[in-house]
Amino acid sequence: MLKLRAFLFALGFYPITILYSIPCLLIGPFLPFRQRFAFFTGINYFYISWLKWVCGVDTRVQGREHLPNTGAFVVLGNHQSEWETLYFQILVRPQVVVLKKELLKIPFFGWALGLLKPIALDRSQRRGALKQLLEQGAARLNEGIPIVMFPQGTRVKVGEEGKFNKGGAMLAVKAGVPIVPIVHNAGRLWPGKSFVKYPGVIDVHIGPAVVTEGRSIEEVHAEVTQWMLERMKLLGA
Read off the pLDDT of residues 67-79 as tens digits, 9 standing for 90 and up.
999 899 999 999 9
User: Contacts for 152-157 with beta carbons within 8 Å, 24 or more apart?
Assistant: 152/78, 152/79, 153/79, 153/123, 154/79, 155/79, 155/80, 155/81, 155/187, 155/192, 155/193, 156/78, 156/79, 156/80, 156/187, 156/192, 157/80, 157/187, 157/191, 157/192
The pLDDT value recorded for residue 129 is 85
How many residues does the structure list for the chain?
Answer: 237
Read off the pLDDT of residues 218-234 as tens digits, 9 standing for 90 and up.
999 999 999 999 999 99
pLDDT band for position 193 (cuts 50, 70, 90): confident
Read off the pLDDT of residues 143-178 as tens digits, 9 standing for 90 and up.
999 999 999 988 999 999 889 999 999 999 999 999
The pLDDT value recorded for residue 51 is 98
The pLDDT value recorded for residue 171 is 97
| Domains parsed from the chain with CATH numbers | 2-235 (3.40.1130)
